[in-house]
Structures are given as C-alpha cells and as structure tokens.
Amino acid sequence: MKRRAALLGLAALAGCGFELRHEPELPFKTLALIGFPPDSPLALGLRRQIKRTPVQLVDDPSRAQVVLEVTREFRDRTVVASTTVGQVREWQLRLSFDYLIRTAAGELLVPKVELRLSRDMNYTETAALAKEQEAVNLYSAMHSDAIAQVMRRLAAVKLPA
C-alpha cells in the first residue's frame, strides 16, 4: 500500500512538470579560477562542483576559455542586539564575494558581480560552543548558496563568436 501511494505521488509530480534541479551545463570547455585566498572554502566548493561537469579546470588563465576572477572574498560578523550589560544576544553573519567573468584575452563576459549573503543568529554565552558550531553551519550554507549562484551565472555565459 505504501509503495502504491509513493508511485501515485511520483506520477502526480511528473504530470505537473516538476523536475529535480540538475547540474548546470557550462557552455565552455576550460575554466581558470584566479584571485581566491589560499584557504578559500568557496574555491574548494567551486572546484568540487566544476569537477562534476565536463569542464576542465586549468591553472594558467591564458589557456582557459573562461576566467572567473575573484576581486573580494570576505566573511565577518556584527552584533545586531545586546543586553543592557553588553552581552551579545544576536549576531549577523555576512559573506561578501565579488567576482567577474572574462575571457583569457580580458574581454568581460560578466561584469563585476557583488554577492552579499547574510544570516542572523541568536546567541547566548551559556551555549557558546554550540553557537560557534551553528555559525560554522550557517557560513557553510552561505558558501553553498554562493557556489550555486556562481554556477548558474557561469552556465549563462555567452562566449564571443
């Protein structure tokens, strides 16, 4: 009975045009990533995503059809709310990521993109270790969002004729 209900549910989804999100198809064969800080989680995540596609990553930007050039990658946190005695009650975690997409010759394919992501997080000193782990998880989620946006932008690139 459960199997029949599951099949019926899948058939209903198929009939409505629902489709699982798939990897974007990139319209080029080689890509270079430049300007990332050495320990960048965004660079690591982008490399991982690009390896799932037929596109080849190259180290030399002059040999790439497309170059993703990072001009800024920055993470920070600011206090949003505090008590009257100065204890922090809420943080805002932010990720700033600026990049442009160009050809090896320097022709801009996508002008500078300023990507800003933020998450709010309640905080209490009695659960400081748990809140630090929560901050790590929120930053990880922001990195995943940023990588997905960059991949969609790369898929929309139009190469010059």
d(CA 140, CA 145): 9
Neighbour count for residue 65 (Cβ, 10 Å): 19
pLDDT score recorded for residue 144:
95
Residue 107's closest CA among 149, 139, 64? 64
pLDDT score recorded for residue 125:
84
64, amino acid identity: A
Model pTM? Answer: 0.81
pLDDT score recorded for residue 24:
76
Dihedral of CA atoms 58, 63, 67, 71 in degrees, nearest 10, equals 90
Q: Please report the domains of the chain, with CATH numbers, ordered by start residue.
A: 24-155 (3.30.160.150)
123-134, pLDDT tens digit by residue?
888 888 998 999
pLDDT digits (tens), the chain, 161 positions: 677 766 666 666 656 666 666 677 889 999 999 999 989 999 999 999 999 999 999 999 999 999 999 999 999 999 998 888 888 889 999 999 999 999 999 999 999 999 999 999 998 888 889 989 999 999 999 999 999 999 999 999 998 87
pLDDT score recorded for residue 87:
87
Distances (CA, A) of 158 to 12, 26, 161: 36, 10, 9
